[in-house]
Structure 1
Amino acid sequence: MPKLFFYCVYFAFAISATNAQQKVIHLYNDNAPGSETWTWQEQENTKNPFNARVIYNVTQPTLTAYLPPAAMANGTAVIVAPGGGWHTLSIEPEGIDVAKWLNTKGVAAFVLKYRLVHMDTDDPIGTVMEKMKDRKKFDESKDSMVKMSIADGLKAIEYVRTHAAEYNINPKRVGIMGFSAGGTLTIGTVFTATVAATRPDFAAPIYPNMSYLKNHTIPTDAPPLFICAASDDQVGLASHSSNLYNEWISANKVAELHMYEKGGHGFGIRKLDIPTDTWIERFGDWLDLHGWLWPENPTGFMAQLSQKQVKQMRKDEEERLRTDWAYLKRYEEENKMLSPSKPGENRVVFIGSSRVENWRKYDSAFFIANHYINRGVSGQTSSQMLLRFRQDVIDLKPSAVVFLGGSNDIAQNTGPTTLDKIAGNIASMAELAKANGIKVVLCSELPVYDYPWRPGLEPAEKIIALNKLIKAYAVKDNITYIDLYSLLVDKRKGMKKELTTDGVHPNLAGYKIMEPFVQKAIEKAIHQNFNKIIF
């Protein structure tokens, strides 16, 4: 995958659910001030009318860190405070899912579990609904919790800022966002922060309840706000967001408001098939507007381009995926210019993804000296290669084709799939080649420990399993198979550091190790009447 496309796919595809263990940080060394006598235990519930994961009875406030891959990190951090009326936490659609989305933008995210009202129940949602029948009593039960939750928010900001270096964060780019009660907590930190260490650099209260923040004063150094809510908020909080926006603007402070016609209260990052589904993208636009999605001191490839250029590249790539999904135009002109094979020439075509395309860039002499033709396309999956196989391989009338691909399928570049489907696409290309008198060399996929642009998919074992399927097919159909995986793999089943540029793509040294084995496989495939497993 070339650097241009590699950078674009960071933003073009949403990050997947990660199963990796996240770091949990306790905000207080001992019991939190004001709740020293609390002895009950934090609990979790999933059996409720919403079929959602709900946290309740939090006594020990924590942050759970969700960090973007180092190559994507831009130095910005956001603390995410889920809502739940100070009785529960909607931990996924208003917490973890938001954190993972922020990671796709290169932002470090910290999900905050703040202190909640004690409930002696195994049905927290039902208990809250019953308590709400007496709204006055329900509100009174939350008064002390509001103050404690804001204190926990301030402590969270202080922790992230003072530990910024540990998490590759710029201490001047620490923000906070929250939903409903978490939104109240969020704006509450803005009103109550008295020292620089606890003051957020930006804040995003999402459908907050402002009635618990009476007699507040807008600070002279008030940070920019992103505010979002729905007009049909069934809790009656729509005006709270619009009033907050008006206060900020009247004080000549920076704010942006998104008020949706429909969405109700608590839409979070859920998909409801209404415009609120995309509010989080508008939040990303706002972060980008302020420069928080771009490193202050970009290095490497990013240092060579402006934000405007990157945005245009992203736009161009998205348009190409819409109009030329298989990238049939990538080699269209080169194919036309290619002269017919000379008598006795054994033309060989390499097809695959970035590992193939980059090969020619790192070692063009290998292809020129051997008259090999490179038809790799960065970012491609086996489905896309299958669609262009006729024009980029068969129509070139080669003696042999070398296939190296499948990893991008596992990375879900064109959506979720299965190993059987990947292997099926590879088999289809092999059978098309054989039907046209073209010898086939199937390469094992190369090792990957994690994909920087889609972290958490745990591809290492999947690649091993895919290679077993490819090898089994090759043995069954007497097709040449070459095990490149074993040449590059390290102890953790990723690519050896000295042989890769980013853990996914080989460097020149990596390609040099692969080349003699590939050449031997090609010679065996072309000059023997049957194919044979080489390595």
Structure 2
Amino acid sequence: MKYLFLFCFCLMSSLLFSQTEMPLYEGPIPNSKDVPNVETSEVRDDGILIISKVTVPTLTAYLPSKETATGKAIIICPGGGYWLLAAGHEGHDVAKEFAKRGVAAFVLKYRLPNGLAMEDKSIGPLQDAQRAIQMVRENAAKWNVKPDQIGIMGFSAGGHLASTAGTHFKREVIENPKKTSLRPDFMVLVYPVITFDKEVGHSGSSKNLIGERPPQGMIDLYSNDKQVTAETPPTYLVHAKDDPVKIENSYLFEAALKQNNVPVSHTYFEKGGHGYGMINPTSEVRWMDDVEKWMKAF
């Protein structure tokens, strides 16, 4: 009986969505040095899947059935301080949930900044985020996705990467021969790192991406509240007021969006800390439900 249940569960899961992992680049990985692939992955005692030392990026697609597909898609950037990737509860688990709700979801295993493996570590993650948007948009028909309904989502430092993709899309750091739009159509940023300002920003993420003593120009460039324009995509923010990644990150971004008349909504929790993924255990509010309702407006 136990094995029959497991078989039925797996069969039902396969009917809900299909899963495929793909290399992000068809040819040589841009901005990469010739180094061994020493990527590691482990499941910690608390059940969290951690991937480290990523130098070969991939995109894993979770596609809903044709019967449930809404035509919307979202690219998910797990967090980890630009040091590692919390690829389970901030990646694959979230993608499965979106697929159940009819949204094609793509987990981006992006390269982690590494001066030994990259010519310029500050643009490595952004290259992968732009390539993911390019890849999904150019394959929209194949994956039953509307090309103007492709969003990006990020948790923590993945939120920094997602917000970089959403504010730096005119600064193309990949080859784009088809002139495909690299602008995401919407953003969902969950307890995001936004600014690298020393008073508010997350020093670990900043150090790993742009170095220990970056010039002020680099700090400003990657403080994404300072890069917002009227063309920045509509955004949904999720943050807890007691988060060690200060909620002021989201406040700054929200203020910049409003100043530029960009639609913005949010779920702000009184408590919850950092890294809770889809479910904040201190609240009955399920922010994924709120995001789903918000996404239906586009």
TM-score (norm 2): 0.77
The percentage of aligned residue pairs carrying the same residue is 35
Q: Do the aligned partners of residues 221 and 98 (structure 1) sit closer, same or farther apart at CA in structure 2, a change above 3 Å counting?
A: same
Query: Matched residue pairs, number?
Result: 251
Offset from partner CA, 1:224-252 (integer Å, 9 cap, x none) = 100111101023x2100011001101111
Q: Tell me the SS of whatever aligns to 1:204.
A: strand
Q: 2:155 aligns with which of 179, 184, 189?
A: 179
Contact 1:267 1:276 in 2 (8 A): no
Q: Which runs of 5+ in 1 are unaligned?
A: 1-15, 119-143, 292-535
Deviation of residue 18 (structure 1)? 5.4
1:22 corresponds to which letter in structure 2? Answer: Q
Deviation of residue 211 (structure 1)? 2.6
1:171-250 alignment runs, 5 A limit: 171-194=147-170, 197-212=181-196, 213-214=222-223, 216-235=226-245, 237-250=246-259
- Quick one: distance in 2 between partners of 1:219 and 1:250? 9
Q: Tell me the SS of whatever aligns to 1:167.
A: coil
Deviation of residue 21 (structure 1)? 6.8
Q: Which residue pairs with 1:113 in the alignment?
A: 109
Deviation of residue 17 (structure 1)? 5.6
Deviation of residue 269 (structure 1)? 1.5
Q: Which residue pairs with 2:36 in the alignment?
A: 39
Contact 1:31 1:60 in 2 (8 A): no
Larger helix percent: 1
1:288-367 alignment runs, 5 A limit: 288=296, 290-291=297-298
Deviation of residue 255 (structure 1)? 0.6
Q: Work out whether 1:279 is the aligned partner of 2:287.
A: yes
TM-score (norm 1): 0.44
2:274 corresponds to which letter in structure 1? Answer: H
Q: 1:94 aligns with which of 78, 90, 95?
A: 90
Offset from partner CA, 1:320-358 (integer Å, 9 cap, x none) = xxxxxxxxxxxxxxxxxxxxxxxxxxxxxxxxxxxxxxx
1:97-496 alignment runs, 5 A limit: 97-117=93-113, 145-194=121-170, 197-212=181-196, 213-214=222-223, 216-235=226-245, 237-270=246-279, 272-275=280-283, 278-288=286-296, 290-291=297-298
2:51 corresponds to which letter in structure 1? Answer: I
- Quick one: distance in 1 between partners of 2:255 and 2:103? 29
Q: Which protein has the larger Cα radius of gyration, Structure 1 or Structure 2?
A: 1
Contact 1:27 1:155 in 2 (8 A): yes
Which protein, 1 or 2, shows the higher relative CO under an 8 Å CA cutoff with sep ≥ 6? 2
1:28 corresponds to which letter in structure 2? Answer: Y
- Quick one: distance in 2 between partners of 1:79 and 1:94? 12
1:234 corresponds to which letter in structure 2? Answer: P
Contact 1:227 1:257 in 2 (8 A): yes
2:25 corresponds to which letter in structure 1? Answer: Y
- Quick one: distance in 1 between partners of 2:13 and 2:284? 21
Deviation of residue 259 (structure 1)? 1.2
Contact 1:207 1:238 in 2 (8 A): yes
- Quick one: distance in 2 between partners of 1:164 and 1:38? 33
Contact 2:64 2:103 in 1 (8 A): yes
1:494-509 alignment runs, 5 A limit: none
- Quick one: distance in 2 between partners of 1:207 and 1:22? 27
Contact 1:262 1:276 in 2 (8 A): no
- Quick one: distance in 2 between partners of 1:226 and 1:203? 6
Q: Tell me the SS of whatever aligns to 1:184.
A: helix
- Quick one: distance in 1 between partners of 2:192 and 2:253? 9
Contact 1:242 1:257 in 2 (8 A): no
Q: Work out whether 1:85 is the aligned partner of 2:69.
A: no
- Quick one: distance in 2 between partners of 1:18 and 1:24? 15
- Quick one: distance in 2 between partners of 1:171 and 1:38? 35
Contact 2:19 2:61 in 1 (8 A): yes
1:55 corresponds to which letter in structure 2? Answer: I
Deviation of residue 279 (structure 1)? 1.1
